[in-house]
């Protein structure tokens, strides 16, 4: 059996702010948290399993020019659900990389939205199909490659 992704751990600068974003805007459930001043963290899940851990131990925001995490992608069950997330994120005031739903590449059925969390971590919510006809903002590389 090949390895598969378990949960993702992200360092954050402000746990309260990041917890509000991932819980209240993206809909993850709080499973548990550590409240000691020097060891604050939150475990977030999807109702069945642990998906994301937030660790308050970063001194500054995400920097995309360093080796490590490129972006974190979540998969939705429909393009309509992606658009619901888009609206919630716009209401929250999120910084989007592209305007609206975009295709992963020219002519692809897959696509989604690309944006940044409160610390600047690059995020994607997409679907494997349903984005037919959406524009592809980058012709020479996958949309998720350079945002």
- Assign residue 133 a region: left if phi > 0, alpha if psi is -120 to 50, beta otherwise? left
Q: What is the pLDDT of residue 88?
A: 97
3 has pLDDT over 90: no
How much is the average pLDDT of 82-110?
A: 96
Looking at every residue in the chain, the average pLDDT score rounds to 94
Rounded to two decimals, what is the model's pTM?
Answer: 0.92
18 has pLDDT over 90: yes
Model confidence at 141, in pLDDT bands (50, 70, 90)?
confident
In angstroms, the Cα distances linking 61 to 8, 30, 70, 78, 147 are: 17, 22, 14, 31, 16
111 has pLDDT over 90: yes
DSSP 59: S
The distance in angstroms from the start CA to the end CA of the chain is 33
125 has pLDDT over 90: yes
Token pair in block for residue 115: 């944006």
Model confidence at 49, in pLDDT bands (50, 70, 90)?
very high
Q: Is the dihedral of CA 4, 126, 22, 57 positive or negative?
A: positive
47 has pLDDT over 90: no
How much is the average pLDDT of 88-111?
A: 95
């Amino acid at each position: 059996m090949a390895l598969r992704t378990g949960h993702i751990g992200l360092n954050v600068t402000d746990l309260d702010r990041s917890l509000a974003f991932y819980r209240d805007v993206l809909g993850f459930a709080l499973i548990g948290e550590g409240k000691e001043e020097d060891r604050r963290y939150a475990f977030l899940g999807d109702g069945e399993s642990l998906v994301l851990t937030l660790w308050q131990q970063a001194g500054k925001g995400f920097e995309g020019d360093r080796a490590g995490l490129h972006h974190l992608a979540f998969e939705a069950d429909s393009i309509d659900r992606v658009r619901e997330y888009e609206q919630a994120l716009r209401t929250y005031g999120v910084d989007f990389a592209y305007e609206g739903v975009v295709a992963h590449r020219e002519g692809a059925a897959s696509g989604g939205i690309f944006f940044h969390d409160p610390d600047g971590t690059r995020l994607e919510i997409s679907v494997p199909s349903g984005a037919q006809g959406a524009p592809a903002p980058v012709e020479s590389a996958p949309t998720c490659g350079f945002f």
